[in-house]
Amino acid sequence: MGVSMHNLKLVVAAVLFLTPVLATAQDQSDQATTLLQQLHEADPTDAKKIEREISLIWGRSGSPSMDLLLTRGQDALEAGEVQTAIGHFSALIDHAPEFAEAWHRRATAFYREEEFGLALADLGHVLTLNPNHFNAMFGLAVILETLDRPQEAFRVYEKVLDLYPTHERALEAEERLRAQATGQKI
């Protein structure tokens, strides 16, 4: 798996402890900030719509050519051409290293290749650039769970739910891990 415990601890620490500090410094668009506030208070149906709007905002780099690389990478990923997707996302990161979504999509591709260390490193970049990226947090929690680290995964799922309280998969995961994370017997 090649996951360095030091790197894993740094990423988890960044999510759990640095998120509030970084969130205030994050230069997000007013629209995304407003939508994140709405997401926090939305019912499940409205939350899904708001999540899609936020994802659209986060998926825009500001450059048509960079957006094309993102689309090509995503198309390759959806077609099961993971290495091609990684190539597109890597090229995008080379040209737009401040574009958090490029790092997120490449992390997803690395996860599919079971390259958990590389996925964790990319998720660390995402969360440094956009500490409110609940999908990156969710991905981090999934990897932590895959690596049999239920307590850390549980805490990260809680962070996802702080931003997006009706996130169905995070709610399911939190419930599933609650006993393990809190040391209670079922």
- Residue 66 and residue 99: Cα distance in Å, rounded? 9
Q: Which of 10-14, 56-60, 179-183 has the lowest mean pLDDT?
A: 10-14
* 101-125 pLDDT, tens digit each: 999 999 999 999 999 999 999 999 9
pLDDT value at position 181? 72
Sketch out the chain's domains with CATH numbers: 5-182 (1.25.40.10)
23 Cβ neighbours under 8 A, 6+ residues apart: 131, 132
Closest to 127 (Cα-Cα) out of 163, 92, 91: 163
- Residue 85 and residue 75: Cα distance in Å, rounded? 8
- Residue 42 and residue 159: Cα distance in Å, rounded? 17
* 140-183 pLDDT, tens digit each: 999 999 999 999 999 999 999 999 999 999 999 999 999 887 76
122 neighbors 145 (Cβ within 8 angstroms): no
- Residue 130 and residue 182: Cα distance in Å, rounded? 29
Residue with tokens 């609940």: 134
Closest to 153 (Cα-Cα) out of 130, 132, 180: 180
